[in-house]
Homo-oligomer: A and B are copies of this chain.
Amino acid sequence: MSPSMTLYHNPASPFSRKVRVLLHETGQTGRVNLKPVNVTPVNPNPEVCHDNPCGKIPALVLADNHVIHDSRVILDYLDHQHVGNPLIPREGSARWRRLTLASLADAVLDAAVLIRYETFLRPQDKQWEEWLANQSEKIARSLEYFENEAVTELSAHFDIASISLACGLGYLDFRQPDLGWRSTYSRLASWYYDVSQRPSMLETQPPV
C-alpha cells in the first residue's frame, strides 16, 4: 500500500523531527510520504506556501488534500490514528502536565531556532548580542527545570513530552555542539543517552 499522506519536512528541522519520531513510535511511517523542502523565514517555499499559507514546516497533506499544521496539531492528529496507547494523554491531569512539559521543550526549540536565524541568516552587523544572550538564558532556565523537576517524570513514558525534549536536545547537539549541556545537566544527559538509542530517534537524526 502506498503512503496516503505527505509530510513537508526538512531533515534538520526539529519540529519536523517530532512528527517523524511519533510516526516511528506509533508504527505509522508507512502511511506518510516524506517530502523534504528547504524553508527559512527569509526564503519561503512556494509549494509549502500553497499548502500552508504561513510557509512553515512541518505540514501534513492528507489523502483528501486537506492540510494539517503546525507540528502540535499534526502530532495530535497522528496520535488519534493508531490503536496503541496514546502518546498524548486524552484526559486528566496527566494530559496538561505532559502538554506543559512539551510546551517547555518547544520553547527550547523556538529559542534555539531563533539563535540559529540570528547567527546564520541575519547579516553579521545586524546581530544583537542581548537577544542572543536572552534566548540562551531561556534555554538554560528550561533545561535546569527539566533536570531538577521533571527528569523522573520524563523517564516514565516516551510520549509527547519526552519526544519534544529529545528533539530539543538533539537540535542543541546539532546546532550548538560546543554548548556542553551534559556537564551541567547530568541527569538529563543520562536520560537523553537512553532515549537516543530508540530506533525512532536513531532513524530521524539530523544530517551530519
Q: Which residues of A contact B (CB under 8 A)?
A: 41-42, 44, 49, 52-56, 66-70, 72-73, 76-77, 80, 91, 93, 95-97, 99-100, 103-104, 106-108, 111, 122-123, 125-128, 130-131, 134-135, 137-138, 141-142, 144-145
Contact B111 A53 (CB under 8 A): no
Contact A104 B72 (CB under 8 A): no
Contact B66 A97 (CB under 8 A): yes
The CA-CA distance from A107 to B59 in the complex, in Å, is 13
Contact B41 A135 (CB under 8 A): yes
> Hey, which chain B residues are within 8 Å of A130, CB to CB?
42
> Hey, which chain B residues are within 8 Å of A49, CB to CB?
141
The CA-CA distance from A53 to B103 in the complex, in Å, is 11
Among B53, B72, B126, point to the contact of A142 (Cβ < 8 A).
B53
The CA-CA distance from A49 to B140 in the complex, in Å, is 12
Contact B73 A96 (CB under 8 A): yes
Residue on B with the closest CB to A40? B134
Q: Name 23 interchain pairs, CB-CB below 8 A, sorted by A.
A: A41-B131, A44-B134, A44-B138, A49-B141, A52-B104, A53-B104, A53-B142, A53-B145, A54-B104, A54-B141, A55-B141, A56-B107, A66-B93, A66-B97, A69-B100, A69-B103, A69-B104, A70-B103, A70-B106, A70-B107, A73-B99, A73-B100, A123-B128
